[in-house]
């Protein structure tokens, strides 16, 4: 399994982020070819102090090749191009292979 993890720092307009993300961005995400599932939360906390992130997103793909194909697809390009429309604080994008312990 291969995971995409996106960490979003606080945006300038949290209400706009929430509504745009749910109503516009996530429907684009749902169209990614090879997507096995996704999760997100606006309730990002740390064990101590304030979280540096406003939102967290995870998406799963069968493997790195499926992830690469999804991001290179027209749907992947549209999803990536949409990020500046809501993520005024930027985004930290990570992807990695999951291993069981």
Q: Could you tell me the residue ranges of all domains in the chain?
A: 28-97
| Model confidence at 101: pLDDT above 90 | no
How far is Cα 74 from Cα 100, in angstroms, rounded to an integer? 32
Confidence check: pLDDT of 49 > 90: no
**pLDDT given at position 99:** 93
SS3 40: strand
What tokens were used for 56? 């967290």
Name the residue among 49, 72, 51, 62 with its Cα closest to residue 7: 51
Does the pLDDT at position 58 exceed 90?
yes
pTM: 0.94
């Amino acid at each position: 399994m291969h995971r995409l993890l996106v960490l979003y720092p606080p945006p300038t307009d949290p209400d706009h982020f929430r509504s745009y993300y749910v109503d516009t961005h996530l429907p684009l995400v749902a169209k990614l070819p090879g997507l096995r599932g996704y999760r997100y939360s606006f309730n990002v906390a740390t064990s101590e102090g304030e979280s540096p992130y406003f939102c967290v997103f995870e998406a799963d793909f069968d493997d790195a090749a499926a992830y690469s194909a999804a991001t290179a697809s027209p749907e992947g390009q549209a999803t990536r191009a949409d990020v500046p429309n809501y993520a005024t604080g930027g985004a930290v994008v990570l992807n990695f292979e999951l291993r069981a312990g």
